[in-house]
Amino acid sequence: MLLTRFVRPTSKPLVLRRLFSTTPLSTLWNPTSEHAALRETLRSFVAQEVEPQARTFNAQEQFNVSLFRKLANLGLLGLTVPEIEYGGTGWTEYTATAVCAVHEELSYSDPAFCLSYLAHSLLFVNNLSVNASPEQKARFLPPACDGRHIGGMCMSEPQAGTDVLGMQTKAVPDGEHHWRLTGTKLWITNGTLNGQDTGDLFLVYARTGPGKTDLTQFIVEKGMEGFRLGQKINNKLGMRASMTAELIFDQVPIPNENIVGKVHGATLCMMRNLEIERLGLAAMSVGIARRCIDEMKAYALERTAFGAKNLFAFGQIQRMVAESYAEYMAGRSYVYAVANALDLSTHGNGLDADGTKLFCAPMAKTVADRAIQVMGGNGYTGEYNVERLWRDAKLMEIGGGTNESHRKNMSRDLRKMGSTRLD
């Protein structure tokens, strides 16, 4: 099958559908025919291109750059960019649902590869699409959408992870036209692509004033004076085909035209982008869970034991398969229900963005653990996929917000509702 760039048609208006009890559940994750076509294209691409390389690149702890650039041919690197002139695909409605579909399908085979895609497409490209000026979009989005440049976002630091407002990286004015950026960022996905030097482009959050929320976004480009790779993080538990790095900023001169949004105004940009990031991570968890269920079902059907035709004869196996499916479907439904209602240009959707990830991240890890248990010793080895997926799933409980931070955020939001009843 020849895969072509998927561009959402603009001439056919979307018909909004209410989800009545007679509507099939599949309408949640494929609300339009365009979404169904996107998912079908993705599944073919994943089967032909992503699945064959997943085990090798994860074992070698290498990022498959050439495969990543092929995503541009499908229109996936500019999925959330509505303006086609900037390299976007033209999605304007149910865009978050399309985002979730891509992350679910890629993670079905290679969550690490998908994590690098998330860092580029959501943390860099989507952030620019929503917050950058027209001049910045024209300059930086086309090469990011066609794969020439691979980007990321720099928020976490050695002493500031979940406590993001405790970051120490700072930028100070240097004359009328430049700033000087100084600090260290850690756990940066796509921070390096080859282990030798930095990635191409980064949105860097830095402190620019004395106030707690006086943060500003700067675009930092590979090769800027004072910008260098600190180290590539090796021997991670999982997500090994996604490069993670420490980046050093030593008095990096940043021109004013590389400031995204307003000076001191990046906190809102950060919180708004966290919503789609967390939804994307939840969708990744859904993809991991679906693959693990497929693997444990297939194994249970083929394996004989104690004279039984297959493992489905045993109640312990029935429980693990059935509970895994029910929890997967609950998580998938939650993710796509939230995605269908999410407008990427808005903010204030944190309760359910946190909620989807809080539910789906441990769900995926639990389902992967059950898959290993069903397969016994075979599931514990690298020959089978579930041990890699189990290792990858753990990051979902840490990256993009820990389980603990989600509980804190959700409790805060629910408390603010006071006695208002839930819908």
Do 232 and 297 belong together in one domain?
no
Q: What is the largest CA-CA distance in the chain?
A: 81
The Cα–Cα gap between 351 and 275 comes to 9
> Count of domains in the chain?
3
Domain annotation covers residue 11: no
Do 126 and 166 belong together in one domain?
no
Domain annotation covers residue 278: yes
The Cα–Cα gap between 293 and 328 comes to 9
Inter-residue contact 328 to 363 (CB < 8 Å): yes
State the pLDDT at residue 23: 65
Q: pLDDT for 144-155, tens place per residue?
A: 999 999 999 999
Do 200 and 261 belong together in one domain?
yes
The Cα–Cα gap between 28 and 122 comes to 22
Domain annotation covers residue 4: no
**Percent helix / strand / coil, the chain, rounded to 5:** 50, 15, 35
The Cα–Cα gap between 150 and 124 comes to 9
Q: Which domain range does residue 196 map to?
A: 152-265
Amino acid at 78: G
Cα distance from N-terminal residue to C-terminal residue, the chain: 46
**Alpha-carbon dihedral angle through residues 246, 252, 255, 257, given to the nearest 10 degrees:** 10
Domain annotation covers residue 129: yes
The Cα–Cα gap between 15 and 20 comes to 15
User: Residue with structure tokens 């303006």?
Assistant: 83
85 in catalytic set: no
Both structure tokens of 293: 């269920």
- The two beta strands, 170-174 and 178-189, are antiparallel
Q: Which pTM does this prediction carry?
A: 0.94
Domain annotation covers residue 293: yes
Domain annotation covers residue 281: yes
Do 299 and 247 belong together in one domain?
no
* Torsions phi, psi for 106 (to 5 deg): -65, -40
Domain annotation covers residue 18: no
Both structure tokens of 40: 């079908």
Cα angle 10, 129, 17; round to 5: 40
Amino acid at 302: E
Q: Of 98, 126, 150, which closes a domain? A: 150
pLDDT tens, per residue, the chain with 423 residues:
334 455 454 433 333 344 444 568 899 999 999 999 999 999 999 999 999 999 999 999 999 999 999 999 999 999 999 989 999 988 888 999 999 999 999 999 999 999 999 999 999 999 999 999 999 999 999 999 999 999 999 999 999 998 989 999 999 999 999 999 999 999 999 999 999 999 999 999 999 999 999 999 999 999 999 999 999 999 999 999 999 999 999 999 999 999 999 999 999 999 889 999 999 999 999 999 999 999 999 999 999 999 999 999 999 999 999 999 999 999 999 999 999 999 998 888 999 999 999 999 999 999 999 999 999 999 999 999 999 999 999 999 999 999 999 999 999 999 999 999 998
Do 216 and 194 belong together in one domain?
yes
DSSP code, position 123:
I
Do 34 and 129 belong together in one domain?
yes
Do 158 and 250 belong together in one domain?
yes
State the pLDDT at residue 91: 85
Do 215 and 279 belong together in one domain?
no
Instruction: Please tell me which residue in 277, 295, 327, 387 is annotated as part of the active site.
Output: 277
Both structure tokens of 329: 């479907």
Inter-residue contact 245 to 230 (CB < 8 Å): yes
**Alpha-carbon dihedral angle through residues 328, 330, 332, 336, given to the nearest 10 degrees:** 180
Do 128 and 218 belong together in one domain?
no
Q: How many angstroms separate the Cα of 330 from the Cα of each of 67, 267, 270?
A: 32, 32, 28
H or E element at residue 152? strand 151-154
User: CA 372, 283, 247, 58 torsion: positive or negative?
Assistant: positive
Do 384 and 260 belong together in one domain?
no
The Cα–Cα gap between 240 and 397 comes to 16
CB within 8 A of 246, min separation 6: which ones?
Answer: 158, 184, 185, 186, 188, 191, 229, 230, 231, 233
